[in-house]
């Protein structure tokens, strides 16, 4: 029996750079209120959202990803040619094939990097980060670009009072590379498919194509059920990620949860009993819920504003449609 050569990857991996892109158009709650019976105060009290960004025709999933990726690569201090893998998490790239990751890899100028898309909803960044870590430790790539990108304005029913105000567009990217120390902790991830109806697309694309429905598919959710699941179950997952990394809440510097809803964020902070010194990402206020893009966008903003600094220990957790989730502890770039 032949023996395979052992992998020649790095002992560990870490995030080396981060970049983000928010569309130029800023949409206040007043615009949302033109089509739903609600109020600015109600939207803010229920979600914390004041504004969100919506993409124009030129700000495609690929275009936003390329902008965010360029910043992340520059921040990492490497060349595009060194990128060996491109992982894109999105639910709003409307071409079934080819993967948008291949277009991004080509337009960035990588040397035929491995490129693929994943669909893991709001947990997609965590899934991509875990895959990138594995590629680097296994030795199939030295540097991997992980992108979370969404144009959720294309999947928003502006007449749905429960969701019209939630979603925004944008792209966030990180470069993951080799490390001699553990800088990305073990991932606690999973799925609860029995709850898949709580966040879903209203109808399949085929129903729209065949004329069975005349309204373009959109994202819908059961708000209270999602809220209870996120607050109670995801706080447990977050604690498991801390335990897996050997970190206590007192040793944590930053908490970057998926930017779904500020009430969920506040409840998780309380349940986890995070100390006051822990910086909590609240990018949802001005960016809205950008699904897979929300964690890297929030990370980029915290570092840009100085609320977080390089070397800080951060707990990141994403959760959403599926229902799926992923949490890990990382060292910020």
CA distance 283 to 256: 9
Catalytic choice (93, 258, 261, 277):
258
Taking alpha carbons only, the member of 45, 50, 53, 52 closest to residue 266 is 45
Q: Other C-beta atoms within 10 Å of 210: how many?
A: 9
Name, in order, each residue with C-beta under 8 angstroms of 265's C-beta and a sequence gap of 6 or more. Answer: 48, 257, 259, 280, 281, 282, 284
Catalytic choice (53, 93, 261, 289):
289
Catalytic choice (29, 53, 93, 122):
122
**Is-catalytic flag, 29?**
no
Asked if residues 96 and 209 have their Cβ atoms less than 8 Å apart, the reply is no
**Is-catalytic flag, 53?**
no
CA distance 87 to 140: 14
Active site residues: 122, 258, 289
């Amino acid at each position: 029996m032949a023996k395979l050569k052992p992998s020649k990857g790095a002992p560990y991996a870490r995030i080396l750079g981060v970049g983000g892109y928010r569309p130029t158009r800023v949409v206040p709650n007043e615009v949302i209120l033109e089509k739903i019976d609600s109020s600015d105060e109600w939207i803010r009290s229920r979600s914390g959202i004041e504004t969100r960004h919506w993409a124009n025709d030129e700000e495609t999933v690929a275009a936003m990803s390329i902008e965010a990726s360029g910043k992340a690569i520059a921040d990492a201090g490497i060349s595009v040619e060194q990128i060996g893998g491109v992982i894109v998490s999105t639910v709003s790239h409307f071409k079934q094939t080819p993967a948008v990751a291949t277009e991004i890899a080509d337009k960035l100028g990588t040397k035929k990097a491995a490129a693929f898309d994943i669909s893991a909803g709001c947990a997609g960044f965590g899934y991509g980060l875990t895959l990138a870590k594995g590629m680097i430790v296994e030795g199939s790539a030295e540097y991997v670009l992980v992108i979370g990108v969404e144009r959720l304005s294309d999947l928003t029913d502006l007449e749905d009072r429960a969701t019209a105000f939630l979603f925004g567009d944008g792209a966030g990217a990180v470069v993951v590379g080799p490390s001699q120390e553990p800088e990305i902790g073990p991932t606690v991830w999973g799925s609860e498919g029995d709850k898949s109806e709580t966040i879903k697309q209203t109808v399949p694309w085929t129903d729209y194509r065949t004329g069975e429905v005349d309204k373009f598919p959109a994202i819908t959710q059961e708000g209270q059920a999602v809220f209870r699941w996120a607050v109670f179950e995801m706080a447990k997952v977050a604690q498991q990620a801390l335990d897996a990394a050997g970190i206590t809440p007192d040793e944590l510097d930053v908490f970057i949860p998926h930017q779904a809803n500020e009430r969920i964020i506040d409840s998780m902070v309380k349940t986890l009993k995070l100390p006051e010194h822990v910086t909590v990402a609240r990018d949802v206020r001005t960016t809205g819920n950008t699904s897979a893009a929300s964690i890297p966008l929030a990370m980029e903003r915290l570092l840009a504003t100085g609320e977080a600094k390089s070397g800080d220990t951060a707990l990141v957790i994403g959760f959403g449609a599926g229902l799926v989730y992923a949490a890990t502890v990382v060292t910020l770039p």
